[in-house]
Amino acid sequence: MTADAERKYIRYEVDEKVGIITLARAEKANAQNEVFLDELDACFDLATASRDVRVIVLRAEGKHFSAGHDLSNEGDDGAPDLSVKGSDRIELGKMYRWEARKYFGYWWHWRNIPKPTIAAVQGRAIAGALNLVWPMDLIVAADDMLLEELSADGTALEVSRPEAPPDHEFMRRWVELFHGEARPFLLLGTMLHPGKLQCASTDDRPAILHNAYRAPDGTEAVVMANITDERQEGQLLWKGQTIEVSLEPAEVALKKLP
């Protein structure tokens, strides 16, 4: 077990059954380099394995939650050697394998932690910061929270859902489902390839978002969310079958699959 004194960027503590993981690189807006990500993953492992922890909270010091990935390679942490041998050019295969482990691999690990996880987000969460936020089960947002993606030219774009219902109502319904009939699927189950859902689009996004899961008893289900303020209908293509779906405005629903 690594003590906080031996970590540079992440703090971990347990307070009344809550494992609290804190991003502690505020002077760099909690930008994530390799050491940062490795320490963060190790703290999630500690919280997951501890019998004293029933829920995990991810929070951050400073004005902003995280500025995303640290691309400066500054400081004494070093940077992964992704170059072609004897050259300063990046070898795409090395880069792909590194990102598969450190970005997608960690994201997938945190997504499947078998304990409730909560992200407490303040200020800006930019690009790679979303890799820390989205895997959590719940997001507690400060009034000044701003989620941003980066476009191809490096411009920060706000992540928004113009036609989404008020977030508090949408989240209330999601929490009810999570702690109700969807619990064996979302908390204890395995994510599956969701299949294609044919439905209307809004702002170039599907009006119905969905994912599929398998519960420990083998039952399969799809969890759907209507992100618009209008009734939406669609067709889910699942293992050679066509399943009709219908959701009321802002409805979050679970449908067991044959």
pLDDT higher than 90, residue 217? yes
Q: What's the predicted TM-score (pTM) here?
A: 0.60
pLDDT of residue 76: 56
Percent of the chain clearing pLDDT 90 (strictly above): 42
What residue segments make up the domains of the chain, in order of their start?
Answer: 4-158, 167-256
| Residue 96, pLDDT above cutoff 80 | no
Q: Is the pLDDT of residue 186 over 60?
A: yes
Q: What pLDDT is recorded for position 87? A: 67
d(CA 227, CA 248): 10
Contact 125, 148 (CB under 8 A): yes
For 97-112, what is each residue's pLDDT tens digit? 777 788 888 888 898 8
Please report the pLDDT score of residue 1 as a whole number: 45
**Which range among 42-46, 57-61, 95-99, 138-142 shows the weakest confidence by mean pLDDT?**
95-99
pLDDT score, position 11: 95
Mean pLDDT of 128-155: 83
Q: What pLDDT, on a 0 to 100 scale, did the predictor assign at position 3? A: 58
Asked whether residue 164 carries a pLDDT value surpassing 50, the answer given is no
Does the domain at 167-256 match CATH 2.60.40? Answer given as yes
CATH code assigned to 4-158: 3.90.226.10
Q: What is the mean pLDDT of residues 66-79?
A: 70
Lowest-confidence range among 115-119, 179-183, 229-233?
179-183
| Mean pLDDT over the full length of the chain | 84
Task: Reply yes or no on whether the pLDDT at 4 is more than 70.
Answer: no
